[in-house]
Chains A and B, each alone.
Chain A
Amino acid sequence: EADIYQTPRYLVIGTGKKITLECSQTMGHDKMYWYQQDPGMELHLIHYSYGVNSTEKGDLSSESTVSRIRTEHFPLTLESARPSHTSQYLCASSVGLANTGELFFGEGSRLTVL
């Protein structure tokens, strides 16, 4: 079983609020990712990190920001949420830096912005 946790699982908030989605893994993985997925649709990479103090933007432009101060923790922040941010956000991690290994996903955070 993968040890990667996301909170909150569900969040309903009003426009303009600041939110942080938490993601933690206890596997010691160097690589961590955030994907955005609308219901029934493909996964889009929005942020990734290869280790502490390393963050990169993914293929899909996002107004969110991330930080990687500790290996196990990769939070995602939206400074001012809008209805267009309504989606599911999936955090994942993988071992190794030189190759693209198996991704372990958290259970996701379903965000609804009213």
Chain B
Amino acid sequence: GQQVMQIPQYQHVQEGEDFTTYCNSSTTLSNIQWYKQRPGGHPVFLIQLVKSGEVKKQKRLTFQFGEAKKNSSLHITATQTTDVGTYFCAVASGSARQLTFGSGTQLTVLP
């Protein structure tokens, strides 16, 4: 199946600091989705990126899709304690009709 690497695995930040997680693939992607899973919860969809070089913003969250459609990033500006959780990318490539999830980045925000 599709291989995707997500880094870092863990990130501890002080409240107010920025945070970025990266998702990398060796193959060209059809699209990429980002999900957030709170501790003890289930993944919740954040956004989908489809176009090369696409940038989307949701309040303090900025999502980017690389020009070659092989990588993506999620950036959070001025983290808050409500941002705590694990952020997963999920990718599809070629004719694949199901998503492959990255290993996730677990974010801890210290007050």
Residues of A within 8 A of B (CB): 31, 33, 35, 40-45, 48, 50, 58-59, 90, 97-108
The reply to whether A40 and B106 contact each other, CB–CB distance below 8 Å, is yes
Residue of A nearest to B90 (CB): A103
In angstroms, how far is the closest chain B Cβ from the Cβ of A114?
Answer: 22
The reply to whether B92 and A100 contact each other, CB–CB distance below 8 Å, is yes
Once A and B bind, how many residue pairs between them come within 8 Å at the CB atom?
59
Q: B30: CB under 8 A from chain A? A: yes
In angstroms, how far is the closest chain A Cβ from the Cβ of B90?
Answer: 7
The reply to whether A43 and B101 contact each other, CB–CB distance below 8 Å, is yes
The reply to whether B86 and A40 contact each other, CB–CB distance below 8 Å, is yes
Q: Which of A41, A99, A106 contacts B42 (CB 8 A)?
A: A106
The reply to whether B43 and A105 contact each other, CB–CB distance below 8 Å, is yes
Residues of B within 8 A of A (CB): 1, 30-31, 33, 35, 41-45, 48, 86, 88, 90, 92, 96-104, 106
Q: Which residues of A contact B30 (CB under 8 A)?
A: 99-100
Q: Apart from A43-B88, A45-B98, A105-B44, list 13 A-B contacts with CB within 8 A.
A: A35-B101, A42-B103, A43-B101, A58-B98, A59-B1, A98-B97, A99-B30, A99-B31, A99-B92, A99-B97, A100-B97, A103-B43, A103-B45
In angstroms, Cα B90 to Cα A100, docked, is 10
In angstroms, Cα B89 to Cα A12, docked, is 31
Q: Which residues of A contact B92 (CB under 8 A)?
A: 99-100
13 contacts between A and B (CB under 8 A): A35-B101, A40-B86, A42-B88, A42-B104, A50-B97, A100-B30, A100-B33, A100-B92, A100-B97, A103-B35, A105-B43, A107-B41, A107-B42
Q: Which residues of A contact B31 (CB under 8 A)?
A: 99-100
In angstroms, Cα B44 to Cα A69, docked, is 27
